[in-house]
Structure 1
Amino acid sequence: MRTTKGASVKTITKMKASSMRSSIVLAMSLAAVAVVAQEDEQEQPAEQRQGRMLEEIVVTVERREQSLQDYAGTAFAISGDDLKLQGIQNLADLSESTPGLQINNKQGNFEVWIRGIGSSNNTELGDPAAATHYDGVYLPRPTGIGSAFYDIARVEVNMGPQGTLRGRNATAGSVNIVPWRPGIGVFDAMIEVEGGNYNSKMVTGMVNLPVGDNSAFRIAAYGMEHDAYYNDVGPLSQDIAEAAENSSARLQYLWEPNDKASLLLAFDYLDEKGSGYTGTNYANPLGNGIDPEDIKDPRDVHARGLEPRNDTEHWGAKLEFKYDLGFAQLEYTGSFRSLDYNFEASTPLTPDYQGVTETLGPLDEAYDNWSRFQFLTESESTIHELRLISPTEERLYYTVGLFYFKENQKSFLASAGDRGTFFQGAEFNQPDVVGESISAYGDMTFEINERMRISAGLRYTYDEKSRQGVNGRYAFALGGFDVTTGNEFACCMGARVGTEGFEFAGFDRQIYDPDLDGSGDVSGDEFLEFYNDGIKSYGARDTLDDILANGIQPGGSATPAQCTDTITTDGLICPADGNHSFVDVINPSTSITVQDGEMDADFVDWRLRLAYDVGESSMAYGLVSTGHKSGGFNDTFSDPEVGIDISPTYDTETVTLYELGWKSEFDLGSVPTRFNASAFYYDYADQVFTSLLSVEQALDFDSGVPPDPDAIDQSGALVVSFSYNAADSEIYGMQFDGGFDLPYNFSFDYTALWLEAEIIEAEPIQDFRFQADVAPDDAVFRSIDGKRLPHTPKYQLNMKLSQWFAVPWGTVDYVVSAGWRDEQYLTIFNGEDYGQPEDPRQRLDDRVPAYWTFDVGMGYSHGDGNLRIEAFANNSTEEVKNAAVIITQFDNTRFYTRPRTYGARVKYFF
């Protein structure tokens, strides 16, 4: 595909001099559909249309170019120019533009949900249920891809299982970011500069350079920075969360030596720095009876300890070769992608509210708390895909292919508990995670006659994954023994760790099995050696290293003489550091668990589709398609009941979609009109949920036996991410989209969605909002039958009004976009408080009220279009809503939609 100067998306326009469909009725039951249409053969005079015509968008949602109106399914395409004019910056912003699509940024991890189907498992064991692609290449970890939103032709969103064509984890659908490709025989260059609020600055440049008659380079680059969207109102004045300093470059070379062959080589590099995404922890105000509605701005917070730091490097290379064999086109795509993600932070203490400092205790200790965490992810993925694509001119056309995917990962998450009494941190260190997938697929369409087509597809997939590493929770009991009272914890329980200069060892750890002597048990000294091996350097003001330097000195049954022979004036018996009588380890044999898990699964996806052309520009269709997402295994746990380590598994998810639809273009009077409608039903079986559970809860969950409160260990509880098959659900609804090409160069487009998403049948699940070792009466099995699936507003609406008009020196255009989302829930419990139904605790509330968003943009193109000036405002009414939430016993962290951003840009084409 060749580009032209100033083009934003490939379009083909067509005049329809004779077509008016005066009535369209679409009704659906689970087994039938009726479509009634009438055609008015009376020709409309051409002058009544005033040269107006509907734009035909060409997409690749089925891996071949076709008109979006000819695609017998539900998909959306948003041009790169429309994204920029509305101020859309990254992947998460698409949520407000596309009904049925929800994309959340949770601490740098993008979670994509399409019509209620998605995944919140962001660990190395998790895979998305909605597949993200970059120029057709599957991205297993889309972290950092937000900086790819420049010099792009469009973003395509495909609804429903894509099992036969994009089968790798596409049970919900797919999102494909499509950059502009080199244009042969075209010299093109552009530079763009932008400024806005939050001290935002952006520069983008592009050069399309022809090389001879049959090849071309396209080079594009991008740089952007802005201040933090968060505001530290405390004394530290940190540059806290959501500041950005991003850069990216893309190089492509296209060679077409003859009419049969083409070769595309592409390389892209993305670098994101700044302060990352911490979210806002509401645990403090909720624990002090503050209504969240009384907090003016969730991004006004009190920071502490470590200033957040994000460093993400994501790059990839791609080779795409095509050759026309006559009967079909042979395509090969090979790609390699590398991701290095490093995020470390101390989460803010609390959002700001009146009287907040009175709830923080000693302020010097509250602000000087360096409890911190660090995420490290290293991912290298390779894809090879070979396809045969036949031309569509024949009655039978098809796509067949082979797909191979492999990902090697390293994953690290660790925390350090500053001033902790019985908790000094946790570590999940997995240096060897391997995932592999092999698929063979075929999809064909047969034209029964000039109006009717039937499609059938089949895909076989084999997936496997293995993981080796270690998980640990570090709990030392530190105390001062009082001779006069016999109290073991007379003082000095908290120790400093994580202060300035502290570093985890990360993947430089040398010890992965704490049982150094092979005895089958972990002694206190082995535990201590393992812990110290995971720390590269202690902080400048840390005290834990000095305490641990004396080795393990057990308390409890130890006599004062066994601890030390130094007695202070206040009656404390202390070791060499002068403060602590003993250093004991809580549960050394069960707090560290070696990880060694593996899984494999195979399944078959299929689809059937019938399409019928009712008239020249109207089509009815019905389809059935399936999608699978592989099961897997969880962390390895030490089960004291059976005396062995186990890795609980979960089964493969299955989604079956039934969809009936209608697509049409016609003249409503003299107005070119588009009207599309679809009705859909999803049968969602063995749905997988992911929760944060203590090991005790996870073991109980795996056995299905409710916990015995008297038997729960009250200390040393390791909290893990646990995935499990929870429910069978059904999702159904209707979607309408269309538009009008109105007089005076007005255009109006809309999309409306009615969506029902309900859990039909589920085993009782443990209430993971409570921790079994802290609140055993609440952390029990509950019914979720009848609950609404998260991220599923019942009604969703998007509308866009645009116009262009001539002025003496060029043209002016503008767009006003409005989006409405009904209320929705963010967890499977729908905010229900089972323990206190009459007086529900606010920390359990996960409801997001209904809201509107408005984006506006205006542009001026001078003369022949070489100069372009734009202004935009995204989320112009400042509707900041909760997009995701983490609710645990001690955590209520909320992640929010982007605040209002506005700015102006100047673009010049050479």
Structure 2
Amino acid sequence: MLKGPQGILYGRNATGGAINVLPARPELGVNSMGFNLAYGNYDQIDVDARANIATGENTALRIAGAYMTHDGYNKDGTDDAKRGSLRAQFLYEPSTDLSVRLGADYSHVGGKGVGGNYLGAFVPTGSGYTFVSSGLAQSEGFNSEASRAWISTQLGGPGLDFRRPMQSDPSQDITYWGVNAEFNLQTGIGKLTVIPAYRKTRERSEFYGPAFNTGDVREDTKQSSLEARLAGKAGMFDYVVGGFYFNETIDANNIYNQEFVLPIQTYTAKTESLAAFGQLTAHVSDRVRLVGGARYTHDKKTVNGLINNIIAVCNESAPPFCIGQMPHLPNFFNADDAIGWLGSKGFINTNVAISPPSNTTKSGQIIYPMVNGANGIILKTYNNINDTDTFSRVTWKASAEFDVTPTSLVYATVESGYRAGGIQMVDSPLKEKYKPEFITAYTIGSKNRFLNNKLQVNLEGFIWKYRDQQITYFTVDSNGTLISSNENAGRSTIKGFDVDVIVKPASGTTLGAKVQYLDSKYEELTLTSAIPFDNFNCPVSGSAGTTSNGSPIISYDCSGKQLLFSPKWTVNLSAEQVVPLGNDLELVANVDTAWRDSQWAAFEFLDFERVPAYWTTGASVSLRAPEGAWGLTAYVQNIENERRNLTPQSSPMGVAVAHYSAPRTYGLRFSANF
């Protein structure tokens, strides 16, 4: 895991860090295999296996697979797991100067997926909103009998009917597969590496969201990439130069059903990115190194699509409003099918429609008067989005390293990062595009080993300064319809320090401690919304216009707030004790615990959206044979058995929800290597 901007060498959009996933490569001349098998509570079955086969003097094949399943942690079966994966790699090394690695992988994610729970509802009062608890247990899930009964008592919006429970169980059916290769050739001027890759994803998911009744996602994604780089030495210099190409196409047909509003998105989004990069390390002396690097990135994004909204509007201003007369819209992937359904159910006459003169070929609306006795209308809005935008940026890095001793290093780095802007499928001209994100990061630190490597102490201080940081939150479009929007915060700053200590005080004993302090702040942050979606705990700063139905769009000044998911203090403690037994067996005991300070988890900054501080502890005891031939482990996670409210969300429809961490889990794991 690498912190801070990593775009120089590790690719596009790496403004906040990068996680390198490096699968084990095939080994020449080795025939081996191994597996891990675990069984735990919630009927957890976790299996992974791998085999390395020497197929010839200079060829090898490695195959690895994994499967995991467990029952849901919630009563409705959600927060379950059902996934499997398979990877194969073939290595050919005809000489020390040339190697060719070919790889392919496949994985599937099924089950019901992530769940959550209703915390309660915000009821409008004359001066704001009052929170009323649902009284539901943490493990209910959105679709248990108790949850279905509770949500049926909540109004879907002013003048509208009571909400319905989910009409079907959530599900996910996601398939990933890809092929890749890596060619390495040692030349007279350095090592040339070429990495082509192709990946395809198919997603069919149905789920509940805090701001809508049922989300239905159908997306097909294709990605191709090519990286070429040359790494070598020239006198006192080490260098890396290269280029990168990336192409992605997403074909999507998505629904985020708000029950009385049915948004339908159908679009094709394309991204093309080109980059050239280089990094130079100067060995000024045996102990001093200076590093400089730069990357030029050019991104092109294109979106061609259509947004339809089917909106039920009640024109009554007093009780009983339109309760019992408004349609609960089911899911349709086509707006005409939704209008046909409304006609077949007697809500409208599909042959009687009004097209306002303000309509254009790009956007507009069609009005259907309701004919079932309700004083209301059905709006069918449309917005064609056909747009292209380009973004370019040079990012850079400069650092210095000094070996104080052979086991002590001090360093200082300043580097910049960039994340491309984009075009989003929202029915609002002011929100259709968002700008690139920029960061400048300053780091100073030291890495040390003392007492014959029995003590390791790493220290690091940092300041990250963001400009136009990209954020995502619930707001409204031009029609007053709820949307999830990508926007830019003005400026934000993160500063802090890390202390990482590992000590081996005695034979077989290892103790670890890591402490991180963060001081984070949105220095400029303005959010917008409209009634009845105006439950923000930030001062009102003005008006940002009106929706098409005349509702004022309200601006909120949330400047000065702590960044989301940025606890001020984080502490990780660990201990391991290895006890030798007879016959070369050994007993290994591990315990680790983590403390997270309180943190904000949503942009409304409501009291319940501040996650309280918490501890989480895990432990294991293992019996191991010599050289890892086999091992038996008993393990437990979340010993406290507290399900933490990790991602609370306030639905702009008035319902507050929470997504909880896993409960206590435990089990046995057997491993073997041959």
The bucket for the TM-score relative to the shorter chain is 0.7 to 0.9
Does the Cα contact within 8 Å between 1:553 and 1:583 map onto a contact in 2? no
- State the partner residue of 2:245: 404
Counterpart of 2:79 in structure 1 is: 242
Say if 2:492 is the partner of 1:729: yes
- Is residue 679 from structure 1 mapped to residue 461 from structure 2 by the alignment? yes
Alpha-carbon distance in structure 1 between the residues aligned to 2:482 and 2:257 = 14
**Cα distance change of structure 1 residues 653 and 307 upon mapping to structure 2, 3 Å threshold:** same
Q: Distance in 2 between matches of 1:332 and 1:601?
A: 26
The answer on whether the counterparts of 1:659 and 1:680 sit within 8 Å (CA) in structure 2 is: yes
- Give the TM-score of the pair, scaled to structure 2: 0.84
The amino acid that maps onto 1:178 is L
Residue of structure 2 aligned with 1:493, choices 308, 317, 325: 325
Tell whether the 8 Å contact from 1:309 to 1:343 is kept in structure 2 after alignment: yes
Q: Measure the CA separation in 2 of the matches of 1:732 and 1:306.
A: 46
Question: SS of 1:883's equivalent?
Answer: coil
Aligned length: 618
Alignment partner, residue 860 of structure 1: 623
**Higher strand proportion:** 2
Structure 2 residue matching 1:339: 3-state secondary structure: strand
For residue 688 of structure 1, what is the aligned residue in structure 2?
470
Deviation at 1:815, TM superposition (A): 1.3
Q: What do the CA deviations read for 1:646-703 (whole angstroms, capped 9, x no partner)?
A: 6643322111111111111111xx771111101111121122222222124xxxxxxx
| Structure 1 Cα separation of the partners of residues 55 and 574 of structure 2 | 40
The verdict on how the C-alpha distance between 1:489 and 1:738 changes in structure 2, with shifts beyond 3 A counting, is closer
2:372 aligned partner: 580
SS in 2 for 1:185: coil
User: 2:633 aligns to what?
Assistant: 870
Residue deviations 1:585-623, cap 9 Å, x none? Answer: 5444xx221121221110000010011111121111111
Say whether the 8 Å CA contact 2:587–2:621 is kept in structure 1: yes
Give % identity: 25
Aligned to 1:445: 281
**Which whole-Å CA distance do the structure 1 matches of 2:113 and 2:18 have between them?**
25
In 2, the alpha carbon distance for the partners of 1:372 and 1:784 equals 30
* Pair 1:374-2:216 in alignment: yes
Mapped pair 1:252 → 2:51: no
Distance across 2 between alignment mates of 1:190 and 1:621: 40
Distance 1:780 1:582, change over 3 A: closer
- Give the aligned partner of residue 438 of structure 2: 654
Correspondence 1:321 to 2:183: yes
2:346 to 542, 547, 559: 547
SS at match of 2:647: strand
- C-alpha displacement of 1:785: 2.4
| Structure 1 residues 278-427: aligned runs within 5 Å | 278-284=115-121, 289-291=131-133, 296-299=137-140, 301=144, 302-303=147-148, 304=165, 305-346=167-208, 371-390=213-232, 395-416=236-257, 423=260, 425-427=262-264
Distance 1:291 1:417, change over 3 A: closer
CA distance in 2, matches of 1:339, 1:664: 44
Contact 2:625 2:631 in 1 (8 A): yes
1:795: how far off? 0.8
Tell me the distance in 2 between the aligned counterparts of 1:606 and 1:348.
40
Q: 2 CA distance for matches of 1:462 and 1:551?
A: 48
Query: 2:301 aligned with 1:465, yes or no?
Result: yes
* Alignment correspondent of 1:188: 32
1:121-152: CA deviation from partner (whole Å, max 9, x where unpaired):
xxxxxxxxxxxxxxxxxxxxxxxxxxxxxxxx
Inter-CA distance 626–491: structure 2 relative to 1 (3 Å threshold):
closer
Separation in 2 of the partners of 1:493 and 1:334?
A: 58
CA distance, structure 1, for counterparts of residue 560 and residue 258 of structure 2: 40
Q: Which residue of 2 aligns with 1:266?
A: 103
Report the aligned-residue RMSD. Answer: 3.3
Alignment of 1:25-40 (within 5 A): none
| Amino acid corresponding to residue 223 of structure 1 in structure 2 | Y
Compute the displacement of 1:878 (Å). Answer: 2.0
Q: Partner of 2:448 in structure 1? A: 664
SS in 1 for 2:336: helix
Give the direction of change, closer, same or farther, for the CA distance of 1:778–1:824 in structure 2 (3 Å limit).
Answer: farther
- CA-CA distance at 1:723 after TM superposition: 2.6
- Following the alignment from structure 2 to structure 1, what is the Cα–Cα distance between the partners of residues 107 and 522? 40
Cα distance change of structure 1 residues 885 and 387 upon mapping to structure 2, 3 Å threshold: same
Counterpart-to-counterpart distance in 2, 1:490 and 1:167? 54
Separation in structure 2 between the aligned mates of residue 490 and residue 648 of structure 1, nearest angstrom: 33
Match of 1:765 in 2: 527
Larger radius of gyration: 1
Which whole-Å CA distance do the structure 2 matches of 1:402 and 1:678 have between them?
A: 31
Distance 1:593 1:584, change over 3 A: farther
- Conserved 8 A contact 2:122-2:656: no
**What amino acid does structure 2 have at the position aligned with 1:872?**
Y
Letter paired with 2:372? H
In 2 relative to 1, CA 693–767 (structure 1 residues): closer, same or farther, beyond 3 Å? closer
C-alpha displacement at 1:866, in angstroms?
Answer: 2.1
Which structure's relative contact order is higher, taking Cα pairs within 8 Å and 6+ residues apart?
1
Q: Does the 8 Å CA contact 1:477/1:493 hold for their aligned counterparts?
A: no
Structure 2: gaps of 5 or more residues? 125-129, 149-164, 355-368, 536-545
Letter in 1 for 2:435: D
Q: In the alignment, which residue of structure 1 is the partner of 2:404?
A: 614
Three-state SS of the structure 2 residue aligned to 1:852 is: strand
Preserved CA contact (<8 Å) 1:497 1:544: no
Structure-2 separation of matches of 1:417 and 1:580: 21
In 2, Cα distance between equivalents of 1:479 and 1:847: 37
SS in 1 for 2:507: helix
Q: Counterpart of 2:266 in 1: which secondary structure?
A: strand
Residue 290 of structure 1, CA deviation: 4.1
Q: Which amino acid in the other structure matches residue 208 of structure 1?
A: N
Are residue 900 (structure 1) and residue 664 (structure 2) matched?
Answer: yes
Relative to 1, partners in 2 of residues 1:808 and 1:469: Cα closer, same or farther, differing over 3 Å? same
SS of 1:869 mapped into structure 2: strand
TM-aligned CA distance change 1:318 to 1:631, over 3 Å? same
CA positional deviation for 1:817:
0.8
Q: Is the 8 A contact 1:252 1:267 kept in 2?
A: yes
- Which of 219, 222, 225 aligns to 2:69? It is 225
Distance 1:767 1:636, change over 3 A: closer
